């Protein structure tokens, strides 16, 4: 069709107008563009995560800080963000921790952690609830605690690679297979490597060729040591009140402890009650049904788990593992179709809000000490234990 000159003029005026709006209006007014672009409708690779995490911190220095807690076996940074407006009086704030777990193939969990960052950073000063979280708490988000395994799992669609779970620890040649001994296998299951229930002789955790190889000794891996050391550091020890570690899959809201059946922390009822409330809220959104309990009781024991160790060795009260959708009916459904990432992010965030609300409610009279010395656990935060 022939386009007359006046029409062209109109079009270009419109374009100019749109361009002006984009340039002039600051992000705050547009509502939610403080973060660099991250595509949550597809699976991304490690460099995108790395750039994104660094970018969010770089662009929002007034309330976001980059955290590198260590390096992986292959030297990749273990990256996260501290999201929290520094308190006016410089006092220590209560903290919470959200992570995307440490299993290579559990890609949706890593992406949902990014969804949480999007929510917190872009909602600050726009959404009242988010603003309250960011003002009241320091929320640490670590999307990927096993970057080497993740990178490896992205290199091929062959099941052996794409379904990789462990880190990339050098091979150990004492493995066993069917009718085979002295088999060489790579990798340690970081979620069996913590010092809880660890035993040289427990099968299959002592078999280097098992997907759940615990490693030669507790904390043999730099990735698990980094988490331990940061959790025990003066930066967060004694003020970390809730920790949620996301995995896939099964729709399970997992409570401690899991290194043994029928073994529970003293305050198990509190953890269970809150988990049930959160799971109900998640269900209300689109009927995603979580089962609540210990994995040891629901599925079988798993020794050396990160959250078990954290619950046992720190005063952090609410410690959970979430096995995100889908449910257990489908085998090996670790990687849902990526168009589910945002719906799963949304519903899971609803559960996280229940937890953060409870953290704020329970700690409102808590007066954190100025700082905590790295001495023994008991004297570091006696006040905290009574909460
Ligand atoms: C290999 O694995 C076995 C079984 O856990 C362990 O005893 C041994 O120390 C490991 N070797 C190395 C070099 O890590
Ligand atoms: Zn997992």
pLDDT in tens, 29-76: 444 579 999 999 999 999 999 999 999 999 999 999 999 999 999 999
CB 131 within 8 A of CB 83: no
Q: What is the pLDDT of residue 210?
A: 97
Q: Which ligand is nearest to the CA of 218?
A: 1
Separation between Cα atoms, residue 18 and residue 21, nearest integer Å: 5
- Per DSSP, helices labelled H in 146-298 are 147-153, 159-162, 222-231, 268-286, 295-298
Separation between Cα atoms, residue 55 and residue 58, nearest integer Å: 5
In a domain, residue 212? The reply is no
In a domain, residue 333? The reply is yes
Number of domains making up the chain: 1
Q: How confident is the model at residue 1 (pLDDT cuts 50, 70, 90)?
A: very low
Q: What is the pLDDT of residue 33?
A: 72
How big is the chain, counted in residues? 387
Neighbouring C-beta atoms of residue 109, cutoff 10 Å: 26
CB 71 within 8 A of CB 77: yes
Q: How confident is the model at residue 194 (pLDDT cuts 50, 70, 90)?
A: very high
In a domain, residue 307? The reply is yes
In a domain, residue 339? The reply is yes
Q: What is the pLDDT of residue 365?
A: 86
Domain region containing 140: 43-153+222-370+380-386
128-136 vs 107-123: helix axis angle to the nearest 10?
100
Residue 104: exposed, middle, or buried by beta-carbon count in 10 A (0-12, 13-18, 19+)? buried
Q: Which of 216, 222, 304 to mutate to test the pocket of ligand 1 (most atoms within 8 A of CB)?
A: 216
Q: Which ligand is nearest to the CA of 254?
A: 2
In a domain, residue 176? The reply is no
CATH number of the domain enclosing 343: 3.40.630.10
Q: What is the pLDDT of residue 368?
A: 59
In a domain, residue 290? The reply is yes
* 108 CA distance to ligand 1 middle (Å): 31
- Residues with Cβ within 8 Å of 317's Cβ and at least 6 positions away in sequence, in order, are 241, 242, 267, 270, 271, 362, 387
pLDDT in tens, 235-272: 999 999 999 999 999 999 999 999 999 999 999 999 99
In a domain, residue 57? The reply is yes
pLDDT at 14 > cutoff 80? no
The 8 Å CB, 24+ separation contacts for 181-185 are 183/208, 183/209, 184/208, 185/209, 185/213
* 62 CA distance to ligand 2 middle (Å): 34
Neighbouring C-beta atoms of residue 301, cutoff 10 Å: 18
CB 259 within 8 A of CB 335: no
State phi, psi for 356 to the nearest 5 degrees. -65, -40
* 22 CA distance to ligand 2 middle (Å): 41
Q: What is the pLDDT of residue 84?
A: 98
Q: Which residues have C-beta atoms less than 6 Å from ligand 1?
A: 172, 174, 206, 208, 216
Q: Which of 208, 212, 218, 219 to mutate to test the pocket of ligand 1 (most atoms within 8 A of CB)?
A: 208
In a domain, residue 124? The reply is yes
The two three-digit tokens of residue 260, written as one number: 């043994």
Q: Nearest C-alpha to atom 7 of ligand 1 is from which residue?
A: 216
């Amino acid at each position: 069709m022939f386009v007359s000159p006046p029409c062209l003029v109109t079009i270009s005026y419109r374009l100019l107008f749109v361009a002006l709006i984009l340039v002039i209006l600051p992000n705050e007014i547009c509502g939610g563009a403080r973060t660099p672009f991250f595509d949550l409708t597809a699976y991304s690779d490690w460099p995108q995560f790395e750039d994104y995490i660094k970018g969010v911190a770089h662009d929002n220095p007034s309330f976001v800080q980059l955290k590198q807690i260590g390096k992986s076996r292959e030297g990749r940074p273990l990256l996260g963000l501290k999201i929290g407006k520094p308190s006016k009086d410089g006092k220590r704030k209560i903290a919470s921790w959200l992570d995307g777990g440490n299993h290579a193939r559990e890609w949706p969990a890593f992406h949902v952690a990014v969804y949480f960052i999007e929510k917190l950073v872009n909602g600050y000063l726009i959404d009242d609830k988010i603003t309250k979280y960011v003002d009241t708490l320091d929320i640490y988000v670590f999307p990927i605690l096993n970057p080497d395994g993740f990178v490896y799992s992205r290199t091929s669609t062959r099941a052996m690679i794409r379904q990789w779970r462990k880190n990339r620890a050098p091979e150990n040649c004492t493995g066993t297979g069917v009718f085979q001994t002295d088999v060489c296998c790579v990798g340690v299951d970081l979620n069996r490597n913590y010092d809880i229930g660890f035993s040289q002789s427990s099968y299959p955790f002592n078999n280097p060729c098992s997907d759940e190889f615990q490693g030669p000794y507790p904390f043999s891996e730099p990735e698990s040591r980094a988490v331990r050391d940061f959790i025990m550091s003066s930066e967060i020890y004694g003020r970390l009140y809730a920790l949620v570690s996301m995995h896939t899959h099964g729709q399970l809201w997992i409570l401690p402890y899991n290194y043994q059946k029928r073994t529970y922390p003293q305050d198990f009822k509190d953890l269970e009650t809150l988990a049930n409330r959160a799971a109900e809220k998640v269900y209300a959104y689109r009927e995603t049904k979580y089962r609540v309990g210990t994995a040891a009781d629901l599925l079988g024991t798993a020794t050396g788990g990160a959250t078990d160790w954290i619950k046992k060795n720190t005063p952090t009260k609410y410690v959970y593992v979430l096995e995100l959708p889908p449910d257990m009916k489908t085998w090996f459904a670790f990687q849902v179709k990526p168009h589910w990432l945002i719906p799963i992010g949304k519903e899971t965030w609803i559960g996280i809000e229940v937890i953060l609300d409870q953290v704020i409610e329970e700690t409102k009279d808590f007066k954190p000490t100025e700082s905590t010395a790295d001495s023994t656990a008991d004297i570091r935060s006696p006040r905290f234990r009574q909460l």
